[in-house]
Amino acid sequence: MPVAKGGLEDVVAGQSEICFIDGKEGRLLYRGYDIVDLAEHATFEEVAYLLWYGHLPNRSELDRITSDLARNRTVPAEVLELIRRAPRTAHAMAVLRTAVSQLGVLDPEADDDSREANLRKAVRLVAQTGTLVAAIGRVRQGGEPIAPDPSLGLAADFLRMLTGRAPSPQDARIFDVCLILHADHELNASTFAARVTCATLADIYSAVTSAIGALKGPLHGGANENVMKMLHEIGSLDRVEPWVEEALAKKVKVPGFGHRVYKTEDPRATILRRYSKELGERRGETKWYAMLVRLQDLMREKKGLYPNVDLYSGSVYDALGIPMEIYTPIFAFSRMSGWTAHVLEQYADNRIIRPRAEYVGPVHGEDVPAPEGLGRVDVGAAHEERPHLALLRHARPPRGSMPAARAALAPAVQWVPAGVAGPPILFPGGPGRGRSVQPSLGRAAHPL
Catalytic residue positions, numbered: 259, 310
3 state SS for the chain: CCCCCHHHCCCECCCCCCEEEECCCCEEEECCEEHHHHHHHCCHHHHHHHHHHCCCCCHHHHHHHHHHHHHCCCCCHHHHHHHHHCCCCCCHHHHHHHHHHHHHHHCCCCCCCCHHHHHHHHHHHHHHHHHHHHHHHHHHCCCCCCCCCCCCCHHHHHHHHHHCCCCCHHHHHHHHHHHHHCCCCCCCHHHHHHHHHHCCCCCHHHHHHHHHHHHHCCCCCCHHHHHHHHHHHHCCHHHHHHHHHHHHHCCCCCCCECCCCCCCCCHHHHHHHHHHHHHHHHHCCCHHHHHHHHHHHHHHHHHCCCECCHHHHHHHHHHCCCCHHHHHHHHHHHHHHHHHHHHHHHHHCCCCCCCCCCCCCCCCCCCCCCCCCEEEEEHHHHCCCCCCCEECCCCCCCCCCHHHHHHCCCCCEEEEECCCCCCCCCCCCCCCCCCCCCCECCCCCCCC
